Amino acid sequence: MEIRKAKRDDRQAVLEFCKDTFPWGDYISDVWGIWESDGGLYVLEMEDAVVGVYHVALLQKEAWLEGMRVHPNHRKKGLGTAMMGHAESVVKEGTIRLVIESENHPSIKMVRNMGYDIESEWRLYVMEPGRETSKASIAETAANLADLADSHTYADSWKWLPLDGEELGKLVGNGRVVECSQNGSVLAAGIWNRSRDFPEAFQIGFINGTGDGIDEILKFAKNRAFETGCRRIQVFAPERFKLNSSLLEVKSLFYLMRKELRKTL
């Protein structure tokens, strides 16, 4: 068994065993070029055949693990655990996170056995782009947003990144925070992005506030996605907030998993 960096020639073999990962297929084909070019795409090879793949992104403050797949004929042989161990050897130390759908019990068991804990639960919602009139606007200051930004992380292109006061200020400075205010009070706030890995998706990576305020931010997202030619909208919110807007279609629940790696001497 060998785990090595992926090459262009590995692509077809990987896509062949990934094509039925989900009922609709898989997204690996969409991100292969991006992941290969950033140097974080690895494959597992056994007897001259590629039977596993994963991607690790070394971010500014942590590492993110994603896209782990094992050939159906080679599952339950410890290959996923081997790739997880390899990813940790690449990261070496610090925080490493990943997200798993709540119904994916085998993967949850595997990462728990490797010392990962559920940090938080997140719900995915979806909407269609469309013309809307909204009272929400881009936030000009982070003042009065701290209580609404009640989360340690936010989703950005299917990666959960640390969210603190400094990061919130940067997001506001980059025009990434939307707010709905009334009579000088902020009713709701959200963080938006265009997905780097999935450019056809417009995302709200975090949202919180009153029901009416959230609806205004969702209308903002529908209109902005329409104007920028996005084909779908994904909205992520901590499950403890339980969004009830009629604008949203409720989708899967995800577990954000975390482990702190300690440098070995």
Residue of 18, 24, 158, 40 lying closest to 100 (CA atoms):
158
Instruction: Work out whether strand 94-101 and strand 63-70 pair parallel, antiparallel, or are unpaired.
Output: parallel
Which class is 124-255 in CATH? alpha beta
Residues sharing a CB contact under 8 Å with residue 78, sequence separation 6 or more, in sequence order: none
Phi-psi region of 47 (alpha: psi -120 to 50; beta: other; left: phi over 0): left
Residues sharing a CB contact under 8 Å with residue 12, sequence separation 6 or more, in sequence order: none
Please state, in angstroms and rounded to a whole number, the distance separating the CA atoms of residues 7 and 19. Answer: 19
Instruction: Work out whether strand 94-101 and strand 249-261 pair parallel, antiparallel, or are unpaired.
Output: antiparallel
Q: What is the CATH number of domain 2-93?
A: 3.40.630.30
One fold for 2-93 and 124-255: yes
| Contact (Cβ atoms closer than 8 angstroms) between residue 165 and residue 143 | no
Residues sharing a CB contact under 8 Å with residue 54, sequence separation 6 or more, in sequence order: 41, 42, 65, 66, 67, 68, 69, 83, 87
pLDDT, residue 264, reads 62
State the amino acid at position 112 in one-letter form.
R
Query: Between 197 and 250, whose confidence is greater?
Result: 250
Please state, in angstroms and rounded to a whole number, the distance separating the CA atoms of residues 15 and 205. Answer: 28
Please state, in angstroms and rounded to a whole number, the distance separating the CA atoms of residues 33 and 232. Answer: 22
Q: What is the pLDDT of residues 8-55, one digit of tens each?
A: 999 999 999 998 888 888 999 999 999 999 999 999 999 999 999 999
Residue of 5, 258, 239, 257 lying closest to 123 (CA atoms):
239
Q: What is the pLDDT of residues 116-131, one digit of tens each?
A: 999 999 999 999 999 9
Residue-range domain boundaries for the chain: 2-93, 124-255
Give the other-Cβ count within 10 Å of 60's Cβ.
7
Model pTM score: 0.93
Q: What is the pLDDT of residues 133-163, one digit of tens each?
A: 999 999 999 988 988 989 999 999 999 999 9
If DSSP codes are grouped into helix, strand and coil, which group holds residue 8?
Answer: helix
If DSSP codes are grouped into helix, strand and coil, which group holds residue 37?
Answer: helix
pLDDT, residue 265, reads 52
